[in-house]
Amino acid sequence: MSKYITTPIYYVNGEAHIGHAYTTFIADTMARYERLKGEDTFFLTGTDEHGQKIEESAEKAGKPTQEFADEISATFKNLWDEFGISYDKFIRTTDEAHMKGVQKAFEVMYAKGDIYKDFYEGHYCVSCETFFPETQLVDGEFCPDCGRSTSVVKEESYFFKLSKYEDRLLKHYEENPEFIMPKSRANEVVNFVKGGLRDLSVTRTSFSWGVKMPASINDDKHVMYVWLDALLNYVTALGYGSDEALMNYWPADVHFVGKDILRFHAIYWPAFLMSLDLPLPKHIGAHGWWTRDGEKMSKSKGNVVSPKEVADAYGVENLRYFMLREVPFGQDGDFSQRAFIDRINSELSNDLGNLLNRIIGMSGKYSEFVIDSKDAEKYHAKELENMNSVLDSLDSFMENLQTHRYLEELWKLFAIGNGVIQEYEPWVKMKNNQEDEALATVAVVANILAKAAVMLHPVMPETTKIIANALSFEINNESYKELVVDKKLLKVFTIEKVPPLFPRVEEPLMTEAPKSEPNPPKETKKEEKTTQSQDNLIEIGQFFETSLKVGTIVEAEEVPKSKKLLKLQVDLGEDKTRQVVAGIKEFYSPEELKNTQVCVVANLKPAKLMGMISEGMLLAAKDEDGLCLIRPEKPKKAGTPIG
């Protein structure tokens, strides 16, 4: 059975950041996991190199566009090679075969009547390379996705009949509830499609850096718009439009993407495939963003995390483990050196590394580094049963892209191993001439570590090779089947001494990110402060004009096209719930808000935000460390007055 796993193709207007590394680590882990199970797996990554933004960036750098794209693309490929990413193909949208495949797809869609020529006039965001209707703009000018200023563009364009596929898309979402993962992200896509799809501009005439039109169309002034070009990489990499040698891998099992490009992958891409009469991918996996020490990363703040800098300081394997363990897939994560160091010292050094050290020490002292598993089942049937129960649970977590839960569950094996040593005290057994029991304990712990190393291999491939060498076996599909599927034990084997895997980290190994400073207080005379304070005083009656109530959030969802807003349904003890639109998306996910209580300003006039009515305001506190909602100390009845 074949498997096909992809990352997005990364845009070459800047070097790789920590978010790119996270996506790539997840995809690489999944590909390695499938290969371990014996699946014929094809893993694709690469770079997106066309569009107006690249043309402008190259011009700003004073370089020919192709040379600029070559240089940035090489930084991605070199970094992934340095990180040991096991991709089967690194595609570039400037590859000749890719461009031919895109031209072929355009011809098929055009012949089918799904592409037509017209004029487009609308607001265009160069950064997002997306057109937006005026109703979706912030303050009538700014992009709803990135916040940058848009410009009004009018030009001739070819359009894809996206509206034609609205019903088919909704039907597909309904019939395939796991098409978008995690499921919590599906609502925003479904709501966007239900709001009505407009036909999509797929060519431009205002710049030239893109895939040229097919010769059969005979319209040289147009180049293909970046999303039609870019998304097709997933099939052109397999030979679509050329030799089609690898098309047996299609459809993709999972496209891993950041949540900011979910709409393009879950709406535009399936519609393109429907037009081409190609099967749809099985899953679109959308992950969250990363902050640093609780703050959004930005070049101006100087707090952008370079994956190479982290890997050089702490090691690639440690970085892989931290990122895949730290955050539930789909939610935003935070890169903190202190949290990173804690996981290295506690989980990697204490739990895993120390277990290997204890096996090496005991086997050397008791049996000249030779371990025989003949009595392991006799004395430790209960521990082996617990171990097998954990091993049997792991596959479901990986299948659901929940790497943090996979690792959390896997770590139970190290707890079992360390617990066996503490409970049975083999050193006491040796003193009491119970050698068989002592050696059986060492053997069972070594087997637990061996099986755990097999399952940790997709996440930490180099570290687990060292563990496997120490235990005199190789990690591959054969050992996976023997040790995990068939539940066999290593028989007689010799331990090889290895240095400690995870030396403790006592101090941060990188420069800490600068903290945002609150605005310094203005220097004013004492008399002025007193006057200011007196001017702001209110009568108690004025305070009681504000109605504050405890509310229970019964529903919460993201607002499509907004980076800040969540739409909440709040129970205030009235006949029906109130809709409150709150700018807290950067700090709370819909899942963690549902069925929690908040404090609400209940007598505000309804306001309209991005076309939605908001019937109240949540009380919150915000400082340089972020925002938190003001909540009742103990649960209260919905509608309870505050005052």
* C-alpha dihedral (169, 267, 258, 70), degrees to nearest 10: 140
Cα-to-chain-centroid distance, residue 248: 27
Alpha-carbon distance of 329 to 287, in angstroms, equals: 6
Alpha-carbon distance of 474 to 469, in angstroms, equals: 7
Binding-site residue set: 125, 128, 143, 146
Helix, coil or strand: residue 641? strand
Alpha-carbon distance of 316 to 505, in angstroms, equals: 15
Helix, coil or strand: residue 229? helix
Query: Tokens 């081409």 label which residue?
Result: 276
Q: How many other CB atoms are there within 10 angstroms of residue 217's CB atom?
A: 17
Cβ burial, residue 641 (10 Å; 0-12/13-18/19+):
exposed
Binding-site residue set for Zn(2+): 125, 128, 143, 146
- Exposure letters 443-467 (e unless 16+ CB within 10 A, then b): bbbbbbbbbbbbbbbbbbbebbebb
Q: How many other CB atoms are there within 10 angstroms of residue 175's CB atom?
A: 8
Q: How many other CB atoms are there within 10 angstroms of residue 66's CB atom?
A: 13
Using only the alpha carbons of the chain, give its radius of gyration: 29
H or E stretch including 571?
strand 566-571
